[in-house]
Amino acid sequence: MGYAQVYADWQTDPEAFWMKAAEAIDWERKPSAALDATRAPCYQWFTDGLTNTCWNAVDRHVAAGRGEQLAIIHDSPVTQSQTRLTYAELQDRTARLAGALQAKGVTKGDRVIIYMPMIPEALVAMLACARIGAIHSVVFGGFAANELAVRIDDCTPKAILAASCGIEPARILPYKPLLDAAIAQASHKPEFCVILQRPQVSAELTLGRDHDWTTLTETAPPAPCVPVEGTHPAYILYTSGTTGAPKGVVRPTGGHMVALHWTMRAIYNCGPGDVFWAASDVGWVVGHSYICYAPLLAGCTTVVFEGKPVGTPDAGTYWRVIEEHNVRALFTAPTALRAIKREDPEGALVQNYDLTSLKALYLAGERADPDTIQWAQRHLNVPVIDHWWQTETGWAIAANPMGIEALPVKIGSPSVAMPGYAVHVLDEAGHPVPPGTLGAIAVKLPLPPGTLPGLWNAEARFNKSYLAHFPGYYETGDAGYVDEDGYLYIMARTDDVINVAGHRLSTGAMEEVLASHPDVAECAVIGVADALKGQSPLGFLCLNRGCEREISAITAECVQLMRDRIGPVADFKRALVVNRLPKTRSGKILRGTMVKIADGTEWKMPATIDDPAILDEIGDALRSLGLGKA
Ligand code: COA
Ligand code: AMP
């Protein structure tokens, strides 16, 4: 059956489509129905089913006699080590950590924050929570203590699981000082922390609060899997929105498993025993879905890679990993390929490795530029599949479903809508626009299984952010168009979210940080085009009247402030001091126009601008950084 037929089957009877997909999951009590519209427009899936994610991702493979198959390969060029865990070993470690958490009072529905680098224990921690029905929230290691504190206060965890350090190529990053600072700053205090001591850094434990991971789990009784309802939150993952406060995307248990399992064959064409590698981080949604849950649900071997595409030690690392571990499908962000291409434009290093195991390369997280796609096609000689999705959806809205039918690749497009998603391009008034016309991309409700049913403790924000603008639709926040063949093209965000090296960041959050500097009266942050990272943040500062301090000192302080408050991941390195910001007559900062001037693309004078002369000043300031038209 080809894609068109599968999509039509879903359209004809979504209930039957997802009930059939649900058969791939083990249920303690099978759901009697797929969709639950009782709380519409917040839809839920598999409400009366009872199941457990850890059972489905781990135990059932052991029960089926595949305990000796590799579940995880940890390949860590930054520590020059490799570790392999079978499904049986993963089950043992997970059950014992779950037992330890249970013994310390963690039960179903309690939140647990996980602050860990790319090591197998990060997956063990996630699965241990799932095993006992605790709701995990993984925080990316590149965030500063303040961001961790914000998440602690929002999801009020009973426990925090952390490692003693992360390892970046240039430095070792002790996590414990960040953790301690975050707990000190947060109003909510976790009851206890469990710290995994890595050989590189031995963290000092706080007596009475912190426990050593190894000691605690060594003696812990293994915990059995606790069945939970289909709608029980599996995890909360914070992502950037328009304001400084991150949004806690909630992932429901049943739909998550059903959808992810379906994607492993339909989109990635992988099954039991295949090696799947998502070169991302467990702190992002790609890491949740495709480093941890989906490959394990499908009985694959997942690669946990602790390194960078370049510099660990060279631009051939990805190809080495593919050869060494027989990787069948690689999933990465275009920015990683751009980094490799920049170091190895002719693909010379690719030739050093045997890549015959690789069947396809998948790209997501940001727009995949044609140059990068063509470079990968030329050198890897496999289909290069762009696909589009978001933290909110947890799996691809649009893709080329390689396990159903390899559709023709159109460079610049993440291909077509997946079953479950009725994608529409709308004008400002919410009317569908014809093919080829740019508009806001929206998905007709209900969203499919696995997507967010809401935001943690923020129902009003959920409605306002996603449902209010186009009633009956989910607003993706992306703009683009559909062509005559139904292929989607994602062109830009419609909000103030920017994408730096595949990382989703809020310019609003960065503006809040800059505004807190004592010399800054007003500010704006925009994302300017960057050849490596896609976008790069740039700040504009208007200083308080009478401020006579050295400008370079103020901008350096702002750069440091951003590092301290949001973290190195913000990659905020540049700020310009200007006298005024361009605004509309109603006072809205014209960020879009500033972006166009900075990128040297065509722009029109906004009709509502208050004072056009300000744009000349902005242009001059940008030229001082080599941006904009000369
Ligand atoms: N913990 C702590 N710090 C981290 C971190 C982590 N997990 N990840 C990144 N950082 C830090 C880096 O050390 C760097 O700090 P610096 O300013 O002191 O140098 C900063 O955050 C920016 O990091 P990064 O965006 O990784 O830039 P880079 O210049 O070090 O590397 C790339 C550039 C393109 C190689 C890198 O961005 C990359 O591999 N991108 C792929 C991203 C990806 O897979 N995203 C997942 C979305 S699907
Ligand atoms: P995140 O929630 O961090 O996964 O970021 C999601 C956002 O990244 C989307 O809303 C898009 O703006 C962007 N994005 C992700 N994948 C793609 C893609 N394949 N093409 C274009 N933009 C993408």
Model confidence pLDDT, tens digit, residues 16-45: 999 999 999 999 999 999 999 999 999 999
Give the mean model confidence (pLDDT) for residues 39-61.
97
- Ligand 1 centroid distance, CA of 540 (Å): 24
490 in contact with ligand 2, CB cutoff 6 A: yes
Dist CA 426 CA 434 (whole Å): 9
- Ligand 2 centroid distance, CA of 388 (Å): 6
At residue 159, φ and ψ (nearest 5 deg) are -140, 160
Dist CA 108 CA 130 (whole Å): 9
- Ligand 2 centroid distance, CA of 364 (Å): 7
Q: Beta partners for 191? A: none
Which ligand approaches the C-alpha of residue 567 most closely? 1
- Ligand 1 centroid distance, CA of 582 (Å): 32
Q: What is the pLDDT of residue 379?
A: 98
For residue 391, which atom of ligand 2 is closest to its CA? 2
CATH architecture for the domain at 501-623: 2-Layer Sandwich (3.30)
Which ligand approaches the C-alpha of residue 240 most closely? 2
- 572 three-class SS: coil
Taking the domains of the chain in order of start, what are their residue ranges? 87-226, 501-623
Give the mean model confidence (pLDDT) for residues 138-144.
95
Dist CA 115 CA 58 (whole Å): 22
pLDDT tens digits, residue range 434-490? 999 999 999 999 999 999 999 999 999 999 999 999 999 999 999 999 999 999 999
- Ligand 2 centroid distance, CA of 366 (Å): 5
Cβ atoms of 152 and 183 within 8 Å: the answer is yes
CATH code: domain 87-226 is 3.40.50.980
Give the mean model confidence (pLDDT) for residues 216-229.
97
- Ligand 2 centroid distance, CA of 498 (Å): 10
DSSP code, position 351: G
Q: Please state, in angstroms and as integers, the Cα–Cα distance from residue 253 to each residue in 228, 235, 450, 463, 581, following that order.
A: 8, 8, 8, 21, 46
pLDDT band at 496 (very low <50, low <70, confident <90, very high): confident
pLDDT band at 245 (very low <50, low <70, confident <90, very high): confident
Helix axis angle, 334-343 to 370-380, nearest 10°: 70
pLDDT tens digits, residue range 608-626? 899 999 999 999 999 999 9
Residues with CB under 6 A from ligand 1: 141-142, 166, 168, 173, 279-281, 284, 286, 308-310, 332-333, 335-336, 339, 365, 501-503, 532, 568-569, 571
Dist CA 443 CA 423 (whole Å): 5
Residue 630 has pLDDT above 80, yes or no: no
